[in-house]
């Protein structure tokens, strides 16, 4: 089990990034949340099975079809025991 915090940069707001992230997280079975930041980036916290967290981060680097991701800053975090995945 692992937890990661990520900030996704690029054209990631107004392209259904958060809704798509929630769908992908549910598909992968990871917990956490996603939210827009004032600077136009998107912030994620993801925790769960190591492989599923890595798959979610790989998806975050692509995003949905209309997104143009230019970079993802990732940090390891302690697990919080989250359940479910929510848009904030």
Active site residues: 18, 36
Residue 13 CA to residue 33 CA, distance in Å, equals: 15
> Would strands 31-36 and 42-48 be described as parallel, antiparallel, or unpaired?
antiparallel
Residue 2 CA to residue 63 CA, distance in Å, equals: 21
- Per the DSSP assignment, residues forming a β-bridge with 7 are 43, 73
Residue 25 CA to residue 46 CA, distance in Å, equals: 8
């Amino acid at each position: 089990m692992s937890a990661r915090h990520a900030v996704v940069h690029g054209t990631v707001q107004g392209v259904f990034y958060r809704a798509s992230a929630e769908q992908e997280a549910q598909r992968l079975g990871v917990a956490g949340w996603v939210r827009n930041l004032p600077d136009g980036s998107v912030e994620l916290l993801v925790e769960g099975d190591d492989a599923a967290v890595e798959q979610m981060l790989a998806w975050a680097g692509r995003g949905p079809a209309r997104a143009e991701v230019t970079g993802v800053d990732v940090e390891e975090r302690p697990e919080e025991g989250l359940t479910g995945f929510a848009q904030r």
